[in-house]
Amino acid sequence: MSREMTGARMVVEALRDQGVDTVFGYPGGAVLPIYDEIFQQNDITHVLVRHEQGAVHMAEGYARSTGKPGVVLVTSGPGATNAVTGLTDALLDSIPLVVLSGQVPTFLIGTDGFQEADTVGITRPCTKHNWLVKDTDKLADTLHRAFDVATSGRPGPVLVDIPKDVQFASGTYQPPKAAAPRNPRRDAVASDAVLQLVELLEKAERPILYTGGGVINAGPEASRLLRELADGAGIPVTSTLMGLGAYPASGKNWLGMLGMHGLYEANLAMHGCDLMINLGARFDDRITGRVADFSPGSIKAHVDVDPSSINKVIHVDLPIVGDVGAVLRQIVDLWSSRGRQTNRAALGKWWEQIEGWKAKNCLNFRNSDQIIKPQHAMQRLEALTKGRDRYITTEVGQHQMWAAQYLGFDEPNRWMTSGGLGTMGYGLPASIGVQMAHPEALVINVAGDASWLMNMQEMGTAIQFRLPVKQFILNNERLGMVRQWQQLLHGERYSQSWSDSLPDFVKLAEAFGCKGAQVKDPKDLDDAIQQMIDYDGPFILDVLIEKHENCFPMIPSGKPHNEMLLGEAAELGVIETGGAVLV
Amino acid sequence: MSALKLERGASSHSAYDLRNPNADVEERHTLAVLVENEPGVLARVIGLFSGRGYNIDSLTVAEVDHSGHTSRITVVTRGTPAVIEQIKAQLGRIVPVHEVHDLTVEGPSVERELGLFKVSGKGDKRVEALRIAEIFRANVVDSTLTSFVFEITGAPEKLDAFADLMRPLGLSDLARTGVAALARGDLAAAPVAGG
Ligand SMILES: Cc1cc2nc3c(=O)[nH]c(=O)nc-3n(C[C@H](O)[C@H](O)[C@H](O)COP(=O)(O)OP(=O)(O)OC[C@H]3O[C@@H](n4cnc5c(N)ncnc54)[C@H](O)[C@@H]3O)c2cc1C
Ligand SMILES: Cc1ncc(C[n+]2csc(CCOP(=O)(O)OP(=O)(O)O)c2C)c(N)n1
């Protein structure tokens, strides 16, 4: 049924028809008609942010924790440019977002009008697709298509730029069904490739499943099938930072995260495997290390929806283009119908070898009763929150890696982190987005002091919307990850890597209108964490930790997997200058 | 259907190797990219090449189906086989891109380019220019007492050769369209509606 209405009304109508319940946004001149419509309805909650970057990260947190697209509304010019970092973040991490921006009226475009920016030009390289809508009659169709593009195939952010006169003008509204998708995505999978994979899997002596964010993108059924396959066939599973939770950390085949700061056993198993099955991961440079030496003796299979991910970095022997959930379904079905065979004897030996690596206990650290070690803080956070309905977000830096190493995720969509772009300032707003979607859950942002300051204005949003997000700040008064690299690579010349003049986080919490506490004695840590969890509202816990702790294991840039740094040993000068050019 | 006969690690190589000029030989490929003719589509294609560091030797674009709003972009690019594969896959990700054809691998194809060459001069050189133009089957589309404008169509190499010969004879200005290409035979990349 098509109806006449203004463009502004169409926006709200389309959001409603797309099942949107929450919009993160910030008003301004070029979106006033849309805000007027938002004022006159109750179906969609608008979360007023404090900075548009915050809005986009909130939408990312919302999207990653629900599997639904996140929606953002910003004004023209500075509103749109403030969204650029978040868009780039979502593009690199394949997060579905629909960002709506206001634009100067069509007749002012190109005149350097007030708050005019070439938004589609600026955001073209940081969106999956974007549109400037110049005709109200095309608005509804474009909006529905925006949702389709954001969520189909490899998900990603899209932007629709809507000039103010298009919002005021009347046109015909088309409901979603009428707007047929114009390029249907391929889902069909070559069944002979699946057969080849199953045959390889049945014979493999040292197989490994290397899973990534694609499994999370594919939805909970993909995670379930992954578990069925891994547990049924007895194959070890490792995951990238983005895929944590797809296979449970408590599962018997779990090796932990792989990559630069991944676990010893995970990286050595990747290096020594004879069959690598990549499910929805993209051979990122944090994973491969020196590419020429990456898992030199293995047959590599790669399942990915995006053909451009295949053979981009690592040449694979068996590419399968398709949704990882659909492909896993086929693998599991075929493997089951052929009698669920595995190379049992060889697998037994493989596991023995892996147990040997595990015995290294690579996450061991020297604890202290004087000062809180960050690893210990993570272990205590894990112990005191395990079993709860828990969601974790992070900022970027050492704390992010410690969280990935020491916290265990048993379900997908419980772990929100900025992996590809590594955006400091992601975690606090992301935690707000998650809490909006899961009001009753325990949502914790594991933060570093420096990152947290980057979007701390969003505490105001948390308080306004009574979102009891917990800010767990591992405060080393350093830009810790930068400092670590300077120590290992730049002769301990700590150039600009302090957090000088930090605010008093407890007073800051009070100033915002929530509660805060500081803890520095290891024996007070548990009580402090408990207080944070029990408090009925947003809470900032300032955890003063060891200032010069390094994050290990670490594969220095440009080194292969089997040349990993494990402990506190004298690591100075370990990274060659060749590796130093990589970041 | 049978299991892969793959040698372990046989094909394991890396993007870093690929950037090594000795590791793989660069090839020239002509791609036909069929796109929805919507605003910004050319910017998307060009932005992909510049953003990811791919080469463009030549690029032409025009709407080929006015009622269906389809444009055909012909890109001549160069890169190692792996890079060419990436370019095609990346082009395929652009939402308004309908199809990507690699005319270099899909079979024999014809490539044509149009050039306009202004040659200024008097006396013997002027006569010689006219004579060479005849050999190349170039048309004179403008002439004054001191200049000619030649129009010539052909493969890019033919235009290169023509330019080389005209340079000592007073070549003073030239414009080239870039390559348009079609597969030989009756296979159509973008079948024309009603055709
Ligand atoms: C400080 C820092 C340190 C880091 N250290 C590490 C580290 O030690 N280890 C680590 O793993 N990462 C680390 N990262 C993260 C790293 O930079 C990458 O973001 C991450 O490794 C990429 O994860 P991924 O391969 O799972 O790919 P993603 O970015 O999650 O991409 C998903 C892939 O799956 C595909 N896909 C999407 N949906 C589907 C679907 N439905 N079906 C099939 N395929 C699909 C996509 O096309 C894509 O190829 C670090 C980041 C930071 C900031
Ligand atoms: C926006 C942004 N700027 C700069 C960087 C580079 N960077 C990566 S980690 C880091 C330090 C983070 O410090 P902090 O948040 O205190 O965390 P820590 O490493 O100490 O745990 C910096 C500056 C980044 N990732 N993002």
**Cα dihedral A227, A229, A235, A241 sign:** negative
pLDDT in tens, B171-186: 999 999 999 999 999 8
Strand blocks (E) in A344-441: 390-394, 415-416
Confidence of residue B4 (pLDDT cuts 50, 70, 90): very low
How far, rounded to the nearest angstrom, does the alpha carbon of residue A54 sit from its chain's CA centroid? Answer: 15
Whole-number percent of chain B with pLDDT over 70: 87
DSSP track, A522-541: GGGHHHHHHHHHHSSS-EEE
- CB A309 less than 6 A from any atom of ligand 1: yes
Catalytic-role residue among A454, A481, A532, A564: A481
The CA–CA distances, whole Å, from A268 to A234, A247, A265, A528 equal 18, 19, 5, 38
Q: Choose the weakest-confidence range: A8-22, A403-417, B15-29, B108-122.
A: B15-29
Q: Do A149 and B39 touch (CB under 8 A)?
A: no
Q: Which CATH number fits domain B110-180: 3.30.70.1150, 3.40.50.1000, 3.90.79.10, 1.10.1660.10?
A: 3.30.70.1150
In chain B, which segments carry CATH 3.30.70.1150?
A: 110-180
A492 exposure class (CB count in 10 Å sphere: 0-12, 13-18, 19+):
exposed
How far, rounded to the nearest angstrom, does the alpha carbon of residue A295 sit from its chain's CA centroid? Answer: 26
Pocket test for ligand 2, best of A396, A423, A445 (most atoms within 8 A of CB): A396
Instruction: Evaluate whether A312 touches A244 at the Cβ level (below 8 Å).
Output: no
Q: Do A317 and B10 touch (CB under 8 A)?
A: yes
In chain A, which segments carry CATH 3.40.50.970?
A: 3-173, 374-544
Q: How far is the CA of B156 from the centre of ligand 1 (A)?
A: 43
CA max distance for chain B: 75
- B130, HSE (Cβ side, Cα atoms, 13 Å): 16
- CB A420 less than 6 A from any atom of ligand 1: yes
Q: Do A314 and B14 touch (CB under 8 A)?
A: yes
Whole-number percent of chain A with pLDDT over 70: 95
For residue A290, which residues of chain B lie inside 8 Å, CB to CB? 16
A334 exposure class (CB count in 10 Å sphere: 0-12, 13-18, 19+):
middle
Instruction: Evaluate whether A225 touches A194 at the Cβ level (below 8 Å).
Output: no
3-state helix, strand, coil in chain B (%, to 5): 30, 35, 35
- CATH node for B19-107: 3.30.70.260
- CATH node for A374-544: 3.40.50.970
Strand blocks (E) in A178-244: 207-211, 237-239
pLDDT attached to residue B187 = 80
CA angle A146, B101, B89 (to 5 degrees): 50
pLDDT attached to residue A579 = 57
Nearest to B85 among A120, A124, A311 (CB): A311
Instruction: Evaluate whether A45 touches A467 at the Cβ level (below 8 Å).
Output: no
In chain B, which segments carry CATH 3.30.70.260?
A: 19-107
Distance CA A188, CA A202 (A): 24
Does position B190 have pLDDT exceeding 80, yes or no? no
Instruction: Evaluate whether B108 touches B184 at the Cβ level (below 8 Å).
Output: yes
Give the residue ranges of chain A where pLDDT is below 50. Answer: 179, 181-186, 569-573
Distance CA A418, CA A61 (A): 10
B12 at interface of A, judged by CB pairs closer than 8 A: yes
Catalytic-role residue among A10, A13, A37, A52: A52
In this structure, how many other beta carbons lie within 10 angstroms of the beta carbon of residue A427?
Answer: 35
Q: Hey, whose CA ends up nearest to atom 12 of ligand 1?
A: A241
pLDDT attached to residue A88 = 98
pLDDT attached to residue A415 = 98
pTM flag (> 0.80): yes
Residue A481 catalytic? yes
What letter would DSSP give residue A138?
A: G
Which atom of ligand 2 lies closest to the CA of A476?
Answer: 20
Confidence of residue B2 (pLDDT cuts 50, 70, 90): very low
pLDDT attached to residue A425 = 98
Distance CA A417, CA A458 (A): 17
The C-alpha torsion from A153 through A91 and A557 to A393, rounded to 10°, is: -100
Nearest to A307 among B1, B92, B95 (CB): B92
Does position B16 have pLDDT exceeding 70, yes or no? no
Bridge partners of A372, per DSSP, are: A545
Nearest to A125 among B1, B15, B51 (CB): B51
In chain A, which segments carry CATH 3.40.50.1220?
A: 184-358
- CATH node for A3-173: 3.40.50.970
Contacts of B149 (CB under 8 A, 6+ apart): B116, B117, B118, B140, B141, B142, B143
Q: Which CATH number fits domain A184-358: 3.30.930.10, 3.40.50.1220, 3.90.1300.10, 1.20.1270.10?
A: 3.40.50.1220
Residues 90-109 of chain B whose Cβ lies under 8 A from any Cβ of chain A: 90, 92-96, 98
Catalytic-role residue among A115, A353, A457, A518: A115
pLDDT in tens, A343-365: 999 999 999 999 999 999 999 99
Distance CA A458, CA A51 (A): 7
The token pair that represents A201 in the structure block: 């899997």
Distance CA A555, CA A537 (A): 40
Distance CA A476, CA A544 (A): 6
Distance CA B35, CA A477 (A): 52
- Chain B closest CA to A12's CA: distance in Å? 25
Distance CA A166, CA A149 (A): 22
Does position B119 have pLDDT exceeding 50, yes or no? yes
